[in-house]
Amino acid sequence: MEVIIVKSAAEAARKAARIYKRMLDEKPTAVLGLATGSTPLKLYSELVRMCENGEIDFSKATTFNLDEYVGLPEGDPNSYRYFMDANLFDKINIDKKRTHMPCGNADDVNEHCAEYDAKIRLAGGIDLQLLGIGADGHIGFNEPTSSLTSRTRIKTLTKQTISDNARFFGGDPDKVPTHAITMGIGSIMDARMIVLLAFGENKAEAIKAAIEGPISAMVPASALQMHKNVKVIMDEPAASQLRLREYYDWVYERKPEWQKDA
Ligand code: GLP
């Protein structure tokens, strides 16, 4: 796991955007795993800016999003489909037919989830998966005690996640769906490269547990310790509880320049 601590969320976004650019330059047909929440917003703005300037090309890319709420009407502004269209897909040169999200209103949820994993496989697997992290250490909507080998499936959200996400629903936790379809931890771990972004002090405990704690289903993000190509890019407050903080900076400062966006 490569731990990169930067001054601000804006710097992290620029750094992550360079990873996307490099990926798409090398493989224009790359399969990108995408995330929602407030964490990726600056990265998405940066990708939009780069696309407008002709610095990055999404025309041949395929995307799969991590998760979607269950039961929101189609076009609901709180659906993750709406979020992705508004913040990224409608603003870049991607073919919308190649942007995939789990469907929160599928008739047969189990069948839909199996199909979603199959579609990812058929597309050749995810080249670069973006993740945020929940304050309880969840990735996607894989809440604590999720199986570390789980595949795409329906999950019940914890009260903490519901209250954390209530800000998107006018602050009313009763409006937040209680269930979501999420790629499993096993599905996420199949990605060839993973970039996790984390900002703010309320992520510090989860980040410490994920990076330095034991691997445990109680902290779903800790499974990433078993992945061979993960970069965790965070700001200072999110890094504030890391025990080996100085070591991570020491490693990064000694990294050859050519490796920095790898
Ligand atoms: C939600 C999403 C996650 C996201 C997490 C953190 O639960 N399903 O993918 O990482 O929230 O959200 P935020 O980035 O808003 O802090």
What domains are defined for the chain?
Answer: 2-229+236-259 (3.40.50.1360)
Only one residue has tokens 């992520």, namely: 203
Contact indicator for 3, 242 with CB cutoff of 8 Å? yes
Confidence class for position 74, pLDDT limits 50, 70, 90: confident
Q: Over 80: is that where the pLDDT of 151 sits?
A: yes
Contact indicator for 153, 180 with CB cutoff of 8 Å? no
Q: What is the mean pLDDT of the chain?
A: 96
Give residue-wise pLDDT tens across range 109-148. 999 999 999 999 999 999 999 999 999 999 999 999 999 9
Helix (H/G/I), strand (E/B), else coil: 123: coil
Distance, CA of 190 to CA of 175 (rounded, Å): 33
pLDDT of residue 261: 63
Computed on alpha carbons and rounded to an integer, the radius of gyration of the chain in Å comes to 17
Q: Strand 153-156 relative to strand 179-182: parallel, antiparallel, unpaired? A: antiparallel
Catalytic residue among 67, 68, 127, 164: 67
Residue 235 designated active-site: no
Alpha carbon nearest to ligand 1 atom 10, residue: 132
* Residue 149, CA distances (Å) to 119, 136, 142, 145 in order: 18, 19, 11, 11
Give residue-wise pLDDT tens across range 180-236. 999 999 999 999 999 999 999 999 999 999 999 999 999 999 999 999 999 999 999
Q: How far is the CA of 198 from the centre of ligand 1 (A)?
A: 10
CA-based nearest residue to 135, from 12, 4, 238, 6? 238
pTM (2 d.p.): 0.96
